[in-house]
Amino acid sequence: MENLKFDVVIIGGGAAGLFLAASLPANIKVALLESNDRVGKKLLATGNGKCNLTNLDMNIAHYNRPGFIEEFLDKFDAHDTVATFEKMGLITKAVDKRVYPYSECASTVLDVLRRGVDRAGTQVFTSHFVNFIEQFNDAFNVQGIVKCEGKPNESFTINCDKVVLATGSPATFGKDSTSLFTAFGHKVREMRPSLCPIKTNKEQIKGLQGVRVKAGVRIGYRYEVGEVLFKEFGVSGIAVFNLSSELARDRAKVGDIMTIDFMPEYSRAEVEDILRKRAGTMTVGELMLGTFHSKVQERIIAAANCSPDEPAQAKIGVLAGVIKGYKLEIEGLGDASLAQVMSGGLDPREFDENLMSLRAMNAYAIGEALDIDGDCGGYNLQWAWTSAMTVARHIIKTF
């Protein structure tokens, strides 16, 4: 394959890479390289296929590096995202501050992005896997292989003036390509699953597989209320997903205790009062029967060291304590294949206010390639759009 020359090469055809390509004018010659056989594959799975684009409650506290991200969100926030997508032709709607395409279908977002990329004149190369970037003076050689089904792989080299790493992370079916920039001397924090299930001691969740509850969940000082889904290996659900970032960001560790509050609407005293008024001459088993799922009541009674046949009145305090703080020992994070994002990546402090590398002039990184991750609710996609627009604006200024 002969050498090709472009002004800009974007490595990665996910959310950030596509948004960047669609934001660059047609007078800049751009190539977008994607290792999969089609672009936007991961985007189609976001928000359970609904694609939660952003969140109108854009609080920097939802990110692992609030101090770093603030200046970027000041220049391109959730409202800018909505306006930009509407200019691209996408109709959006907000549900509890979360912004979705009106169709509630991720493929609609991908269609709009692909049309924007086409209008910008970007050349898209799928099945192109980049394995090395070499810098010569003020230019780059981007090298890799073309995966040809049923045929031997071919090598390729593309020359460019600017290169942008937009490869995302290994979450779901993505890839970690930060090694392409460690060759320039960049530091990387190991990527770990985030926004994912948490593995716990199996004895403490015995018999609960498949049970869903609305509960409060706590790890350390952080507390979330939402759906909790019990799995064979641990717990899942949106509340757990948000708390998983505490482990991914090294704010919690294996062996720590996660507590589940099965009655988050009430205080400990209120739970005791509710149980005491209902207990009468009931046994512990009878009292729990009308309150919780049968499998949940079994675990609460066991954790309280009670017998279902004991008089309930004498056990009100201990039962209330377990209901408000059911303890699970943390054994680790769920697999990357189950994660919405990864926590980790290139150290953002080694990039300037335009997200250009301080180690290699005209090399940029955006999206999950940088060590920036947010909570559930559109915050990670917002970082993809914000970081991509930051780089787009700087590249446009240089031409």
pLDDT tens digit sequence for 288-320: 998 899 999 999 999 999 999 999 999 999 999
Assign 3-state DSSP to the chain and report helix, strand, coil percentages, each to 5.
35, 30, 35
CA distances (Å), 305 to each of 198, 280, 299, 309, in order? 25, 20, 10, 12
Q: Is the pTM of this model over 0.85?
A: yes
Distance (Å, rounded) from C-alpha 155 to C-alpha 158?
A: 10
- Res 275: pLDDT: 95
Grade residue 149 by pLDDT with cuts at 50, 70 and 90.
confident
- Res 290: pLDDT: 83
Distance (Å, rounded) from C-alpha 113 to C-alpha 99?
A: 16
Amino acid at 238: I
CA distances (Å), 215 to each of 208, 237, 313, in order? 14, 10, 25
Instruction: Mark 83-119 as b/e (b = at least 16 C-beta within 10 Å).
Output: ebbeebebebeeeeebbbbebeebebbbbbbbebbee
DSSP state of 41: T
Length of the chain: 399
Backbone phi, psi, residue 306, to 5°: -110, 165
Find the distance separating the first CA and the last CA of the chain, reported in whole Å. Answer: 28
Distance (Å, rounded) from C-alpha 247 to C-alpha 237?
A: 16
Amino acid at 72: F
Distance (Å, rounded) from C-alpha 35 to C-alpha 39?
A: 9
Grade residue 2 by pLDDT with cuts at 50, 70 and 90.
low
The secondary structure of 153-195 as a DSSP string is -EEEEEEEEEEEE----SSTT----THHHHTTT--EEEEEEES
Amino acid at 98: R
